Amino acid sequence: MKPILIHTHFHRRRTGVTRSIENVLPFFEDKYETYIYGYNVEGKKISFSELKKLLFSNREVVVHCHRNNEIMRMLFLRFLGAKFKLIATRHAETVPSGLTMKLLKKADKVVTLIKSMSDNLGIENTVVGHGIDIEKFKPSNSKKLSNISQENIILCAGRVRKPKGQVILLEAAKVLKNHENWALVIVGKVDKPDFLEELKTIAKKYQIENQVYFIDETSDIVSYYQASKIALVPSFSEGFSLVTAEAMACECSVIATKNVGVHSELITHQKNGYLFEVGNISELEDLLEKSITNQIPLLGQEARAEILENWSAQKEAEGLIKVYKS
């Protein structure tokens, strides 16, 4: 009889964490009877009563949590006598709160996503980076977006808020004025309407408002990656930066901030993408202009090769299984 693996997901929005869980679930099925306890994520779900039945049985059970509220639910069941191995992933690079640290210390194993996160956490942990579903996130040369009139697309995907660097991006995007057949498409949930208006004001200032599109978050993000030649990730901070890996898997030529999240581990500058210093508008502007005018090559094929070799969902699942069995 296979051991049981349960991933938890209690969050009202679909996020990078959601996609990371969905990416790896299929690769556990050979070795584990695999379930989801929670909502808003795809997978074979179990009810609370089914969960209790498993946790209070004699079966070997691993529960993998991703957020504080999930860990607290499982610790309460453990307090009542449930027996299982508790794995917790720390998804943020910020300094954890006192509550988060207490919860992580109660887990049997802690997983982090990148080396800097691991080094800064202050407790024993294992680094297992996110992996990409390389069959879903793959290139398609024929993909077109009916809502974008320009032929060439530059994509910025992710939450629309100041730490994600969209102000820097819009300032650098003034180069688009000289390239009318290029568009900048910003896809993601807007945290604050005032910030969106700030971004639109910058676009108007440089007279590129007809080349800049703001699209709400979508379940069809793959089509946007596939239709884009360049992907920009100007973030000031990231936990992992799943969008960077997803864009690379779809053969976008990626320009991302140096030493933010996993950017500098994913990207070797000028070999499979481009890196620039955080907040450096002129450096980003220069890379963007040279990419548009073919002064530097688009490195989409090299980017996908990196993902296939080192960042697949199967590779992530293999790393997590080692943690579950340790």
The structure tokens listed for 279 are: 């907040």
Q: What whole-number distance in Å separates Cα of residue 96 and Cα of residue 120?
A: 10
pLDDT tens for residues 162-201?
999 999 999 999 999 999 999 999 999 998 999 999 999 9
Query: Edge-to-edge strand order for the sheet containing 61-65?
Result: 33-38, 4-9, 61-65, 85-89, 109-112, 126-127
Q: Between β-strands 4-9 and 230-233, what pairing exists: parallel, antiparallel or unpaired?
A: unpaired
Using CA atoms, how far apart are residues 88 and 60, in angstroms rounded to an integer? 17
pLDDT confidence bin for 244, thresholds 50/70/90: very high
pLDDT in tens, 39-72: 999 999 999 999 999 999 999 999 999 999 999 9
Nearest to residue 308, comparing CAs of 141, 115, 137? 137
List the end-to-end C-alpha distance of the chain, in Å, as a whole number: 19
Tokens 């996908």 belong to residue = 304
Of the candidates 299, 269, 285, the residue with the CA atom closest to the CA atom of residue 179: 285
pTM of the model: 0.89
Q: Facing residues of 86 across strands?
A: 63
Distance CA 51, CA 78 (A): 12
Q: Give kind and range of the element (H or E) at residue 227.
A: helix 221-227
pLDDT at 267: 97
Rounded to 10 deg, the angle between the 16-24 and 242-249 helix axes is 60
Q: Note the pLDDT tens digit of each residue in 206-219.
A: 999 999 999 999 98
Q: Say if residues 232 and 260 touch (Cβ distance below 8 Å).
A: no
Helix (H) or strand (E) holding 296: none
Residue 140 structure tokens = 């398609």
Query: pLDDT tens-digit profile of 69-89?
Result: 999 999 999 999 999 999 999
Burial status of residue 7 (CB atoms within 10 A of its CB: 0-12, 13-18, 19 or more): buried
Domains of the chain: 4-131+312-325 (3.40.50.2000), 152-310 (3.40.50.2000)
